[in-house]
């Protein structure tokens, strides 16, 4: 199953200075949980500016 899932996966890389949306799980983040109903809550937050690249997949 992992082989099939990896066929549709693509590497994402963002440059410093680009704008991105952040995917957060609102049911785990109590500070951003704005709705009682998780199905109706936001899926992406932002846009945020990429200021620095810390590692190969951390910004």
How many H helices and E strands in the chain?
1, 2
Q: Which long-range contacts (CB under 8 A, 24 or more apart) does 54-57 make?
A: none
Q: What is the pLDDT of residues 1-58, one digit of tens each?
A: 899 988 988 888 899 999 999 987 766 666 665 667 777 777 888 999 999 999 988 8
Cβ–Cβ under 8 Å, residues 33 and 26? yes
Asked whether the whole model's pTM tops 0.85, one would answer no
């Amino acid at each position: 199953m992992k082989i099939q899932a990896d066929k549709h996966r693509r590497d994402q890389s963002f440059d410093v200075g680009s704008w991105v949306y952040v995917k957060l799980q609102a049911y785990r983040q109590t500070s951003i949980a704005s709705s009682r109903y998780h199905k109706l809550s936001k899926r992406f937050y932002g846009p945020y500016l990429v200021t620095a690249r810390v590692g190969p997949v951390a910004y």
